Structure 1
Amino acid sequence: MTPLPLRLHPDQDLRLALQEVLAHHDVTAAYVLQGIGSLKLAQLRFAGAPAATELRGDLEILSLAGSLSVDGAHLHMAIADAQGRVSGGHVAAGCIVRTTAELLLVLLPEYQFTREQDMVSTFAELSIRNSIGVTGATGK
């Protein structure tokens, strides 16, 4: 495991910047352990919703966590608006940094994360393999 503190700058796309980290460090697996900062535009998909909801304004990132793979990111975030109202959900593309985003990632060069269609959930779910080909536990 390799810890990687990261700071994003104004107008960066949060999700895109995190995907670029994998390519830059030549790894296929990472976790976002925590993130704080601010956004001027958030795209969150709420539980069970078919599409993301756009939120605009001065938004504070209260927490951000998730997994990163070459097939995409699975990120969840809680944000607060200028009145302190909190929203949370799945991070979609188009979350734009307002002033800063301070993140702690852990790179996992000994693992490969991919997203594979799950017959039960019907979604592309995380598939975990380590460098010797052992698949991660599924909880079943």
Structure 2
Amino acid sequence: MKLLSLLLLGLVAGTVRAQTTAAVVPSSTLKAYALRLKPGADLRQQLTAFVAAHHLEAVAVLTCVGSLAEVSLRLANQENATHYRGHFEIVSLVGTLSAAAGGHLHLAVADSTGRTLGGHLLDGCRIYTTAEIVLGALPELQFGRETDPTFGYKELVVKKAPPRRVKKP
């Protein structure tokens, strides 16, 4: 019984600790955009251009399937890009985008043997056959980036978006 009590106490203490490390952020409705990128398009550049053209300040990648002929990633704990050529299936694309603050996107791809590669999505990922993407815009939020003193990287900051001006007729 003592062991069970200690385990439960540990779970409760862990829960409290986890809650104090996460920031409370406002919620938002979601507006979905479905895109199809054609052969030769640069995946990151097209996503960035779409978000900028539509003045979207808080976007999350909801899903993506497709294929790439060229892959450019920044692998974990590496400073420079690593490039691959071949035929790759996109098995995951996740992250956030903002017209003003840029993006933070991770890509995972599988080659013809099933070997999987993943890292930070960089310019230079060229579509092979298609990329079918659904983006979720969060109109009541604004994504920003601020340097986190722990590691020195610019990390996501979520704020409530300023009220939109209503145009008078």
CA RMSD for the aligned pairs?
Answer: 1.4
**Secondary structure at 2:49's aligned position in 1?**
helix
Quick check: 1:78–1:88 contact (8 Å CA) kept in 2? Answer: yes
**Secondary structure at 1:120's aligned position in 2?**
coil
Question: 1:128 and 1:33 mapped to 2: Cα distance?
Answer: 18
User: Is there any run of 5+ residues in structure 1 with no aligned partner, and where?
Assistant: 134-140
Alignment-derived partner of residue 134 in structure 2: 104
Structure-1-length-normalised TM-score: 0.89
The amino acid across from 2:77 in the alignment is G
Asked if 1:127 is matched to 2:138, the reply is: no
Q: CA deviation at 1:132?
A: 5.2
User: Is there any run of 5+ residues in structure 2 with no aligned partner, and where?
Assistant: 1-29, 164-169
The amino acid across from 1:56 in the alignment is R
Q: Percent identity?
A: 44
Of structures 1 and 2, the larger Rg is shown by 2
Alignment-derived partner of residue 136 in structure 1: none
The amino acid across from 1:114 in the alignment is G
Q: CA deviation at 1:44?
A: 1.2
Higher RCO, Cα 8 Å, sep 6+: 1
How many residues in Structure 1 have an aligned counterpart in Structure 2? 133
Question: 2:119 and 2:67 mapped to 1: Cα distance?
Answer: 16
Alignment-derived partner of residue 18 in structure 2: none
**Greater fraction of residues in strand:** 1
Q: CA deviation at 1:42?
A: 0.6
Alignment-derived partner of residue 30 in structure 1: 59
The amino acid across from 2:110 in the alignment is A
Counterpart mapping for 1:1-140 below 5 A = 1-69=30-98, 70-131=100-161
Question: 2:118 and 2:143 mapped to 1: Cα distance?
Answer: 25
The amino acid across from 1:116 in the alignment is E
Give deviations 1:76-107, integer Å, cap 9, x for gaps: 11101122211111111111111100111101
Question: 1:28 and 1:116 mapped to 2: Cα distance?
Answer: 15
The amino acid across from 1:95 in the alignment is C
Q: CA deviation at 1:114?
A: 1.4
**Secondary structure at 2:146's aligned position in 1?**
strand
Question: 2:88 and 2:106 mapped to 1: Cα distance?
Answer: 15
**Secondary structure at 1:10's aligned position in 2?**
coil
Quick check: 1:15–1:73 contact (8 Å CA) kept in 2? Answer: no
The amino acid across from 1:7 in the alignment is R
Structure-2-length-normalised TM-score: 0.74
